[in-house]
Structure 1
Amino acid sequence: MTERPELRLEFQGWFMCRLATDPDPTDEPRGVSGATFALAGEPDLDRVIVLNDPPPGTVRSHAPEIGVRVTRASVNGVTRLPGMVGSRVDLLGRPRFENRNFVLTTAGQEPIVPFHLRISGGDLSLERAMVMSPEAPDASPHDLPQPLLERFGARVFRVDAPLVASGTGINAPLHNRLVRREALVIERDAPHTTPVQRAALAKRVRELDIAIADPADERLANMTAVEEFDFPLTSPPIVRGDPPDDLRVDTEAPWRVTFWMGGWDPDVLCGFLRGTLSTPVH
């Protein structure tokens, strides 16, 4: 039986998500008792997963460059569409992790709602969304059964330091925290630092002190953890561009997205994402 041709778009990069963490409630706007906080001078936490173009006033010093891009396009293992490399990968509709303090799913198995993926630029632009319940496509996560949420949520939450390091380049998280703390202290104590900036930097230093004192604390442990996702995209797709005749995207069959998110850095509210969009082609 001949294998059906499949276009695979591989992508990766840093994302931002400014969210409160347990035991703070999910909608806590500033952060009180968890491990993440909106600092002095910053807007409220909004939980939105941002893959490109973070809002003004949200990028902290020493944060990685936010941006998820296509790194390779191939068909059945053969590199194709080189113009797709560097294309933007975006999630539309202000997506959020929907766990709600264990109300909807267990930790690390929450879905991302909405999940509306768009890859744009180069030879082709593709757009399609996850539909958890075809009978009620606009239903709130609160109205859907937990097994359905988990089917489209993360399959597993696990520690995988080598995998995370292959993306982030951070091979020694504790050393990274020590270096970051030293840089923040210098920044905090600089004569040009404003009082508001000094208050924000002092808070970051205090949080790093907690991580350094206890390597098992989530502020450090989550830097080597990943959530893995794998589910179909079945909404009506949008395809733009002029690919070669032998790469006509199948708009009837489901597409599939597989990715992991991890390497969470609570100091800058950023993590790493790597994945693949697979689409059958005629």
Structure 2
Amino acid sequence: MLELYFEGWFQCRLARDPDPSDEKRGISGAAFATVYEPDLDRIIRLNKPVASRAMYMPTGHQVPEAGVSVKRVYVDGRNDDAHPLAGARVDLLAKAMFQSLNGVFFTPGNEIIDPFHISISGENLTLSRKDLWNPAKPGLTMYDLPLDSPLLQRRKPVSGDSGSVDLREATGIYDADAYMKKRIRDLQTAIAEKQQARETAGPGEEQELDLHIAG
């Protein structure tokens, strides 16, 4: 039996309450797409994030790099560090998204992933598999299922303690309140730095600085 354990950070650009789940720019919620950024598309990107704002943050601010890969491989219960899938890249294909339809299917933070097509790509080996709602009906979508269908349950996230030691070690965030306060201070510093740079910019430099300020 082959067991793969993968981990990492991913990107998902989506609107937040009270905006509708399909809002593209962000109006009333806590997430917005700036004028120079693409729409909020809800796509789960395990690698190759788009419109990253990491470059706009001041030095020292914690900005994890998006990327999910295989960390451990077990074959028949034995660890195999030399396996061709060790270190392999993991992706969700076909524009996988978190789906809840404004809480109709599931509550925020407990959305299902749909569609679910996972790809694991090593140097000389790739595994790819779709999770169909019903293999006998490959065209079936989540909208064809009743809300109480047990099939929906398997796409829900695995429950866990948001304050667990494992999660804190994985994220490097040991004090959520202090982290958020520092993030606000860093954002304010970044805005002030870009605005100061714009005020002292030479001819032809304003447009590039406007992009940084908008980011």
1:121 and 2:122 correspond: yes
Q: 1:167 aligns with which of 152, 167, 170?
A: 170
In 2, distance between residues paired with 1:150 and 1:8?
22
In 2, distance between residues paired with 1:178 and 1:85?
38
The DSSP-based 3-state class of the residue aligned with 1:182 is helix
Q: Deviations over 1:23-68 (max 9, x none)?
A: 211110111222222123211100000001123xx10125311100
Q: Percent identity?
A: 40
Q: 2:28 aligns with which of 23, 26, 33?
A: 33
User: What TM-score comes out, normalization by structure 2 length?
Assistant: 0.80
Deviation at 1:182, TM superposition (A): 2.4
In 2, distance between residues paired with 1:42 and 1:187?
18
When residues 153 and 115 of structure 1 are mapped into structure 2, their CA distance, relative to the original with a 3 A threshold, is same
What is the aligned partner in structure 2 of residue 235 from structure 1? none
Deviation at 1:157, TM superposition (A): 6.7
What is the aligned partner in structure 2 of residue 85 from structure 1? 86
In 2, distance between residues paired with 1:112 and 1:134?
17
In 1, distance between residues paired with 2:20 and 2:189?
33
Q: Is the 8 A contact 2:133 2:141 kept in 1?
A: no
Q: Deviations over 1:216-241 (max 9, x none)?
A: xxxxxxxxxxxxxxxxxxxxxxxxxx
When residues 103 and 135 of structure 1 are mapped into structure 2, their CA distance, relative to the original with a 3 A threshold, is farther
Q: Is the 8 A contact 1:85 1:122 kept in 2?
A: no
Q: Is the 8 A contact 1:30 1:37 kept in 2?
A: yes
Q: Deviations over 1:148-197 (max 9, x none)?
A: 22233235475344232121111112222222222222221122253454
The DSSP-based 3-state class of the residue aligned with 1:142 is helix
What is the aligned partner in structure 2 of residue 142 from structure 1? 143
Which segment is superposed worse, 91-100 or 174-183?
A: 174-183
Q: 1:47 aligns with which of 35, 42, 61?
A: 42
Deviation at 1:84, TM superposition (A): 2.7
* 1:199-210 paired onto structure 2 within 5 Å: 199-200=214-215
> How many residue pairs get matched?
193
What is the aligned partner in structure 2 of residue 203 from structure 1? none
1:12 and 2:3 correspond: no
When residues 185 and 107 of structure 1 are mapped into structure 2, their CA distance, relative to the original with a 3 A threshold, is closer
Q: Is the 8 A contact 2:9 2:64 kept in 1?
A: yes
* 1:88-99 paired onto structure 2 within 5 Å: 88-99=89-100
Q: Is the 8 A contact 1:116 1:127 kept in 2?
A: yes
The DSSP-based 3-state class of the residue aligned with 2:178 is helix
Q: For 2:52, give the aligned amino acid.
A: V
Deviation at 1:135, TM superposition (A): 3.6
When residues 132 and 158 of structure 1 are mapped into structure 2, their CA distance, relative to the original with a 3 A threshold, is farther
Q: For 2:172, give the aligned amino acid.
A: G
Q: 2:53 aligns with which of 49, 53, 60?
A: 60
Deviation at 1:144, TM superposition (A): 1.2
* 1:152-163 paired onto structure 2 within 5 Å: 152-156=155-159, 159-163=162-166
Question: If each structure's strand is expressed as a fraction of its own residues, which one has the higher value?
Answer: 1
Give the RMSD, CA atoms, in angstroms.
2.1
When residues 157 and 137 of structure 1 are mapped into structure 2, their CA distance, relative to the original with a 3 A threshold, is farther
When residues 100 and 123 of structure 1 are mapped into structure 2, their CA distance, relative to the original with a 3 A threshold, is same
Q: Is the 8 A contact 2:43 2:95 kept in 1?
A: yes
Q: Is the 8 A contact 2:36 2:214 kept in 1?
A: no
When residues 80 and 155 of structure 1 are mapped into structure 2, their CA distance, relative to the original with a 3 A threshold, is closer
In 2, distance between residues paired with 1:119 and 1:32?
36
In 1, distance between residues paired with 2:95 and 2:38?
16
Structure 1, unmatched stretches of 5+, are 1-5, 201-282
